[in-house]
Amino acid sequence: MTVTFDDILAARDRIAGQVDRTPVRYSRKLSQLTGAEVWIKFDNLHFTGSFKERGALNRLLQLSADERRRGVVAASAGNHAQALAYHGGRLGIPVTIVMPEGTPFVKADGTRAHGATVVIKGLDFSGSTEEAHRLRDEEGFVFVSAFDDEGIVTGQGVCGLEFLEDAPDLDALIIPIGGGGLIAGSAIAAKAMKPDIRIFGVEAAMYPSFAARRRGEVARCGGQTIAEGIAIKAVGDIPFALADPLVEDVIVCEEADFEKAVAFYATLEKTVAEGAGAGGLAALLAAPERFRGLKVGLVLCGGNIDSRMLAVVLNRELVREKRLVVYRILGDDRPGMLSKMSAVIGGLGGNIIDVVHNRLALDVPAKGAEFDIMVETRGEAHADEIRHGLEEAGYALRMG
C-alpha cells in the first residue's frame, strides 16, 4: 500500500479539464483577525460544492469496462455522493449512494439531481457503510469508499499539489479530517514539494477518531455535529497509515469553533462554508497563538450547508457577539408598560426584533407580567448600555 507524488501527478493529468482548478487567495481580514498570514483554497467553488470531485473522478476513471457496466455504490453524508453521482453520470456509470438518516436535504437532493439512486439507511456513517456493503454483495456493484481507497487518496492529493503551486511560500496547511483521504493525499503532495511544510489536521470533538488512534485509544464518537462531513467514527486504514507520519498535530475543535468559522467565512470572506469545510479556520480561531506569524493555508473544502442551518449559525453568532440580546423584564401588567420599555430601548438606539408577553408564568405575580424583548444592538458595550438604561428606569431584568 503506497501513494507517491508521482501517483498524484498522474491523477492530476488524468482528471485535467474535467474538474475545476479552484482559486487560492490571500485573506487580509482573517490575517488581521488571527495574526497569521492566511491563504484560502476555495474548494467550495467546485461544481458539486466540495473537494471530493478530484478523488471521485480519479477512482471512476480507473474502473475496468466491466466495473463501469456494473456500477458503483458508496456510503456518504453527501459530498462524496454528489461527486460520484455527477461524474458517474457524465461517464455513463450507474451510481447508488447510501446516506445516513439526518443527512442535510441539500446534499441528498443534490445527489439525486445528478442522477444517482439514493438510499437512506443507517443512523450514522457506519450503518450506511454496512448497507452499501450489502448492496455490493447482492447487486454486484463496485464499492467506492469515500476515503479508504488509494485511488481516492491519490485524487485528493491534487488539492495539496495545486495549493503549493499557487502559494509556494506556505509554512503550514490546516486540513479537516473525516476519513482522512484529503489530509493524506495533500500531505504527501505538499511534503514532496516543500519538505519542511507543517501539516495540521482538524477534527470535531464529537468524532476525534484520528487523534484517538494516534494515542492508541478507541475513539468515543457520537452526537449531532454541524461538521457532519467529518463525523466519522473510524479514520480509514489507508489514509491513517499514509498521513500519520506526515501530520504534526491534530486540533480537536468544539461546535462553537465550527459555528464561528462558518459565520466568519460568510461575513468576512463573503463565501459559504459548511461546518466541516470551515474546519481549518475553526482550528485557527481556536488556537491562533500556534500560527501567529506563519503563512498558513486553509482548505475550505466544502460549501454544502442547508440554508436554514446557515441562518441558524449566523443568528447564533449574533447572540455570541451580543448583537442580538433578549432582555427579560418583570413588571406590572398595566396599560402602557410595553410602550415605556420600548421608549427606553429605542431612545438608546436598540432595535426591537421580537416581544413575548407572558402573563401565566407562576413565578410572576398575578398582577404582573414577564416580557422577553429581543433587541438588535451594536455589540456588547451597547447591550450593556441598554441594560443599564432599563435598570435606571426602574425595571427588574436579566439578560437572556
Per residue in 114-157, pLDDT tens? Answer: 999 999 999 887 889 999 999 999 999 999 999 999 999 999 99
Quote the mean pLDDT of the chain. Answer: 93
The region of weakest confidence among 62-66, 240-244, 310-314, 329-333 is 329-333
User: What pLDDT, on a 0 to 100 scale, did the predictor assign at position 369?
Assistant: 78
User: What pLDDT, on a 0 to 100 scale, did the predictor assign at position 399?
Assistant: 53
User: What pLDDT, on a 0 to 100 scale, did the predictor assign at position 125?
Assistant: 79
Q: Is the pLDDT of residue 165 over 80?
A: yes
| CATH class for the domain made up of 72-140 | alpha beta
Per residue in 308-350, pLDDT tens? Answer: 999 999 999 999 999 999 999 887 777 888 888 999 999 999 9
Q: How far apart are CA 308 and CA 306, in angstroms?
A: 5
Average pLDDT over residues 24-47: 98
- By the 10 Å C-beta count (0-12 exposed, 13-18 middle, 19+ buried), 249 is classed as middle
The region of weakest confidence among 31-35, 74-78, 117-121, 170-174 is 74-78
Average pLDDT over residues 243-267: 97
pLDDT band of residue 104 (cuts 50, 70, 90) is: confident
The region of weakest confidence among 219-233, 245-259, 279-293 is 219-233
Backbone angles phi, psi at 29, to 5 degrees: -70, -45
| CATH class for the domain made up of 323-398 | alpha beta
Per residue in 182-239, pLDDT tens? Answer: 999 999 999 999 999 999 999 999 999 999 999 999 989 998 899 988 988 899 999 9
Strands 368-376 and 295-300: unpaired
Q: Is the pLDDT of residue 86 over 70?
A: yes
At 89, list the grid cell.
Answer: 453520470
The answer to whether the beta carbons of residues 97 and 117 sit under 8 Å apart is: yes
pLDDT band of residue 279 (cuts 50, 70, 90) is: very high
The answer to whether the beta carbons of residues 205 and 223 sit under 8 Å apart is: no
Strands 324-332 and 295-300: unpaired
- Which fold does the domain 5-46+152-315 belong to in CATH? Rossmann fold (3.40.50)
User: What pLDDT, on a 0 to 100 scale, did the predictor assign at position 371?
Assistant: 86
User: What pLDDT, on a 0 to 100 scale, did the predictor assign at position 132?
Assistant: 96
As annotated, the residues of the chain forming the CATH 3.30.70.260 domain(s) are: 323-398
pLDDT band of residue 362 (cuts 50, 70, 90) is: low
Q: Which of 346, 396, 398 is nearest to 376 (CA)?
A: 346
pLDDT band of residue 366 (cuts 50, 70, 90) is: low
As annotated, the residues of the chain forming the CATH 3.40.50.1100 domain(s) are: 5-46+152-315, 72-140
Q: Is the pLDDT of residue 400 over 60?
A: no
At 199, list the grid cell.
Answer: 501539516
Q: How far apart are CA 195 and CA 187, in angstroms?
A: 10
User: What pLDDT, on a 0 to 100 scale, did the predictor assign at position 110?
Assistant: 84
